[in-house]
Amino acid sequence: MIKWLCLFFSYVLMVSSHSWLGLWLSMEMNSLSFVPIMIEESKESSLKYFLIQSVASVIFLASILSQSFSFLTPFALLIKIGAAPFHVWLISISKSVSWKVLAFLMTFQKIGPLLGLAMIQFTSSFFILISAVIGGLGGVNQSNIRLIMAFSSVSHLSWLMVNMTSFFLVSAYYVAYVVILLSVIALLSQSGLLSLAQMSDGTSLIYSASVMFGLLSLAGLPPFLGFFIKWMSLEMNLLSPTLILTLVLSSCLSVYFYFKIAVTSLLFPSEGGAQGAETLAILSMGFNVLLPLSAL
């Protein structure tokens, strides 16, 4: 219970920090609170996470204390957040943790580094492009659903970095992404699905449809919520044609590996399903379909 309270308090500190030192302190508290949660599931994964975050924290601290190393600030934050080409640790950890831990890794654990990147308005075209390409290509040949979602997270980081010039835009994209992702993960966790092979065991039609809508929303297809946040990102930012083309093609690749999950689920429907899963499915469909349509 104490570790969860410390974790929640670290998020509060991150959001309320107005200095680099305060942000570093809150991220350290966050990492030290999250490691005990990971240890309960996988000691190896918790050790990897601790080592990576420690190295990134040392680099970040050196960059804010010495003007000579200030150029290292974005690199430290990109390592912490798991953006390409520093994404290998995130992919490695994703294979051996539960949906609960993975949900935190891909959402709330990104708050601190994202705030740091927003403070310096980091919009490097190189890191946007490489995150989009690796995130899109990496999930194509995967059969482990957790790995697919991890590569999806890397791909979405490219869209978040596109919006770094505006705190409102990056906040809006982040909140929408968290809502969509958590709705999908809640459904997958409820049914205990970890691989595409398990999808053929049979799921209810409502459940399968809501998973498909959530995944297509993550991919950015209309008329789902994910389409509107990606369209907003392209509309509100002055991007080069190359960058726009890469982001769109990355989303197209995401559609392919999301469809692998959705179609497998739809091909093997069952007569019924757990009441909890059905309720989550209806809520997920509401978030991804009815919410954006009601705004039109």
Give the CA count within 13 Å in the CB-facing half-sphere of 34.
28
Task: Lowest mean pLDDT of 20-34, 95-109, 254-268, name the range.
Answer: 254-268
pLDDT of residue 41: 84
pLDDT of residue 190: 79
Binned at pLDDT 50, 70 and 90, residue 262 comes out as confident
DSSP 82: T
Would the pLDDT of 275 be above 70? no
pLDDT of residue 203: 61
| H-helix segments, 107-240 | 111-119, 125-138, 145-162, 167-191, 196-199, 205-219, 225-236
Binned at pLDDT 50, 70 and 90, residue 222 comes out as confident
51 or 266, greater pLDDT: 51
